[in-house]
Amino acid sequence: MLEINNLHVKVGNQKILKGVNLKVNAGEVHSIMGPNGSGKSTLAQVLAGREGYEVTAGEVIYEGKNLLEMPPEERACAGVFLAFQYPVEIPGVNNAYFLKAGLNAIRKYQGLEELDAMDFLPLVKEKMKALEIDELLLNRSVNEGFSGGEKKRNEVFQMSVLEPKLAILDETDSGLDIDALRIVANGVNALRSPDRAIIVVTHYQRLLNYIIPDYIHVLVDGRIVKSGGKELALELENKGYAWVEAEIHTAAPANA
């Protein structure tokens, strides 16, 4: 589904990603872990198409197409979804209108009929219930005045409505208490299916107790330096990222 080959990304003069390779197949859940500043969020943003990042080398192939050439809205229409680390507040645009506009743009692109309010409302209300989100949120402005936890839940709610093929969660767990974490994880798990892939970007192992990944990759200084199964998370939890960093300094060069 997704193939990242030798991706190099610069922001201004600073090299952030220095040759990332990653292959994600449909049905898989991958977790990208790493210390702060290692480039995790940059990778997520670049996949979603944010401006301000310069790709200096490498490619990203999504379902056979060059993802990097697609504008953000086309990526969304083609099934890519990013749950933001810092969801944006948009005063004056109400949540229901925003979500319906997004859903209908995606449906139109996919050749499906657009939903009217009569079809849309029952759909979103059902999803809200599952995520224990108050229905009043629909009439509020997007993320405006939401608590940190509400914003993160709103991201997962949007994801559950838009039903992407490739979902990327950028530190969706940070700032959540254990109850909210469980709700968010349930929302993500409900989306797991053989034709979908999920990439969970996180700093902490905690979320991975609830969303069990098939693969874990450790990103350090712009490169994936270690990959493994879910047991890698525990090892990281016990030994910390310094352990990986020490290991790569003593072992062969990481780009091998």
| Footprint on this chain of other proteins (rule: CB under 8 A) | 48-51, 71-73, 75-77, 81-82, 84, 87-93, 98-99, 101-103, 105-106, 109, 141-142, 158, 162
User: Would you give the distance in Å from CA 252 to the centre of its chain?
Assistant: 31
Task: State the nearest-atom distance from the C-beta of 44 to other proteins, in Å.
Answer: 11
Q: Are 195 and 187 in contact (CB under 8 A)?
A: no
Nearer to other proteins, 104 or 186 (CB): 104
CB of 88 to other proteins, least distance (A): 4
* Identity of the residue, 74 or 132, whose beta carbon is nearer to other proteins in the bound complex: 74
Q: Is 172 exposed, middle or buried (0-12, 13-18, 19+ CB in 10 A)?
A: buried
Minimum Å gap between C-beta 79 and other proteins is: 10
Nearer to other proteins, 71 or 240 (CB): 71
| Of 187, 189, 124, the residue nearest 152 (C-alpha) | 187
DSSP state of 44: H
191 touches 167 (CB < 8 A): yes
Q: What's the closest the beta carbon of residue 10 comes to other proteins, in angstroms?
A: 19
Contacts of residue 75, Cβ cutoff 8 Å, sequence gap at least 6: 47, 48, 49, 62, 67
In 163-239, where does DSSP find H-type helix?
178-191, 231-239
Query: What's the farthest any 2 CA atoms get from each other in the chain?
Result: 62
Least distance in angstroms from the C-beta of 105 to other proteins: 4
**Residue nearer to other proteins on the CB measure, 34 or 164:** 164
Q: How is residue 115 written in tokens?
A: 């939903």
Q: How far is the CB of 161 from other proteins (least distance, A)?
A: 10
Instruction: Tell the smallest beta-carbon distance from residue 15 to other proteins (Å).
Output: 22
In terms of DSSP H, where are the helices of the chain? 40-48, 72-77, 95-109, 117-130, 148-162, 178-191, 231-239, 241-250
Q: Which is nearer to other proteins, 168 or 183 (CB)?
A: 168
CB-based burial, 61-77: b 16+ in 10 Å, e otherwise: ebeeeebbebeeeebbb
Count of CB atoms within 10 A of residue 122's CB? 10
- For other proteins, the closer CB: 57 or 90: 90
Q: Which is nearer to other proteins, 89 or 119 (CB)?
A: 89
